[in-house]
């Protein structure tokens, strides 16, 4: 606990928890200077490499390869993301997905005509991406490869940054891999939201070294020389899924702002451990529980309708193509209307 915070430099921390979500020993601390919540100590590189190569997917997903219901759910989320940010992906020619997981993003990106490839540390999952979905995915961590000579229009880091021992340094490296007008999409779990929704003590685990909220994610990005993309800032406001672009230098956050955010995060943790059940208990919690159970049951039933995961992938690629076609048609009609033309032929004047 004597190490300085990687985000603000403070050495002052409070212990939040001494156990992980399964009751195993794991110390988690809250930084008094900025509010970031981290595991303490941070694991070394060798330990992390072995953990993600062989154990992570099995321990936290329960299987070496994704189940149909999981694939259906992931493709649904990814399709909604593509539609919400279609303006971003319309201009992307090349992308790399760091931590490609079970490949849903890469599959839809490839189906959109983007030159897409990925990196995935899990041996089983990277093999699945290659063998079952036909994707270009290398087995390993970002640190295992040299991308110094390449530049990408889009880099994706979804539910990965929280697993890394030096998030700011990783973001700096990814910044250097961006094309001149490239964008970096970073998504992490929101520890403040999780603390409000999850049962007391069911928050932390070995895999999530850094537990971000909307402020600390943007703080880490700012330290790496990144700023939010203006065109998407409104859609990403208050979330931990953000598009970033290069800034001219390090983004400085006011010390008073960081302290205020740190105090707010301490209160979030205090409320979580003071409540035996999640906040919003009663009607809202029960409604959320039953809705989730219904969604999980629906995923199982729907997934079973397809022969295999590749069939599910093709189904969603078709959905994406249909949506893109409708969007193009709508845009064309709007352009015609703006220019005083219609889709119907105009008879020549007599």
pLDDT value at residue 156: 98
Q: 280-339: per-residue pLDDT in tens? A: 444 455 566 556 665 666 666 676 788 999 999 999 999 999 987 777 766 666 766 777
- For residue 151, give every residue at least 6 positions away whose Cβ sits within 8 Å of its Cβ, in sequence order, or none: 177, 178, 179, 180, 182
Q: How far apart are CA 28 and CA 16, in angstroms?
A: 6
**How far, in whole angstroms, is CA 169 from its chain's centroid?**
18
Strand 94-98 versus strand 115-120 pairing type: parallel
Q: How far apart are CA 250 and CA 222, in angstroms?
A: 6
pLDDT in tens, the chain (350 residues): 568 999 999 999 999 999 999 899 999 999 999 999 999 999 888 888 787 777 676 666 666 789 999 999 999 999 999 999 999 999 999 999 999 999 999 999 999 999 999 999 999 999 999 999 999 999 999 989 999 899 999 999 999 999 999 999 999 999 999 999 999 999 999 999 999 988 899 999 998 999 999 999 999 999 999 999 999 999 999 999 999 999 987 778 888 999 999 999 999 999 999 987 775 444 455 566 556 665 666 666 676 788 999 999 999 999 999 987 777 766 666 766 777 654 544 444 44
| Residue 241: strand pairing partners | 187
Domain boundaries, the chain: 43-258+267-332
Cβ neighbours around 258 below 10 Å, total: 22
Stated pTM of the model? 0.87
pLDDT value at residue 61: 60
**How far, in whole angstroms, is CA 276 from its chain's centroid?**
29
Q: How far apart are CA 348 and CA 350, in angstroms?
A: 6
Q: How far apart are CA 278 and CA 181, in angstroms?
A: 42
pLDDT value at residue 338: 75
Q: What is the DSSP letter of 52?
A: I
Contact between 170 and 124 (Cβ < 8 Å): no
Contact between 289 and 283 (Cβ < 8 Å): no
Domain 43-258+267-332 falls under CATH 3.40.50.150: yes
Q: What is the DSSP letter of 55?
A: I
């Amino acid at each position: 606990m004597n190490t300085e915070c990687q985000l603000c430099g403070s050495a002052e921390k409070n212990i939040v928890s001494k156990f992980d979500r399964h009751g195993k020993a794991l110390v988690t601390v809250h930084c008094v200077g900025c509010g970031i919540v981290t595991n303490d100590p941070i694991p070394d590189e060798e330990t992390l490499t072995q953990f993600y190569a062989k154990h992570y997917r099995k321990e936290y997903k329960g299987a070496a390869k994704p189940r149909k219901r999981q694939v259906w759910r992931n493709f649904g989320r990814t399709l909604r993301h593509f539609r919400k940010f279609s303006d971003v992906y319309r201009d992307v020619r090349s992308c790399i997905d760091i931590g490609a997981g079970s490949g849903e993003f890469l599959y839809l990106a490839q189906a959109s005509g983007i030159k897409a490839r990925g990196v995935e540390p899990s041996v089983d999952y990277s093999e699945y991406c290659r063998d079952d979905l036909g994707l270009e995915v290398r087995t390993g961590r970002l640190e295992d490869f040299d991308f110094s000579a390449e530049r990408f229009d889009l880099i994706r880091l979804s539910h990965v940054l929280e697993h890394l021992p030096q998030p700011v340094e990783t973001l700096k490296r990814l910044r250097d891999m961006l094309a001149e007008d490239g964008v970096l999409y970073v998504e992490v779990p929101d520890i403040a939201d999780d603390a409000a929704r999850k049962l007391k003590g069911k928050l932390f685990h070995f895999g999530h070294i850094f537990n971000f909220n909307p402020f600390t994610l943007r703080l880490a990005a700012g330290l790496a020389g990144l700023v939010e993309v203006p065109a998407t800032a409104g859609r990403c406001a208050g979330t931990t899924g953000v598009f970033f672009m290069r800034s001219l230098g390090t983004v400085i956050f006011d010390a008073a702002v960081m302290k205020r955010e740190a105090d707010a995060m301490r209160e979030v943790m205090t409320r979580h451990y003071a409540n035996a059940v999640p906040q919003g208990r009663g009607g809202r919690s029960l409604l959320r529980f039953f809705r989730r159970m219904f969604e999980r049951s629906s995923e199982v039933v729907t997934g079973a309708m397809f022969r295999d995961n590749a069939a599910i992938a093709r189904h969603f690629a078709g959905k994406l193509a249909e949506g893109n076609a409708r969007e193009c048609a709508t845009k064309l009609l709007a352009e015609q209307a703006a220019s005083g033309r219609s889709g119907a032929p105009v008879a020549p004047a007599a």
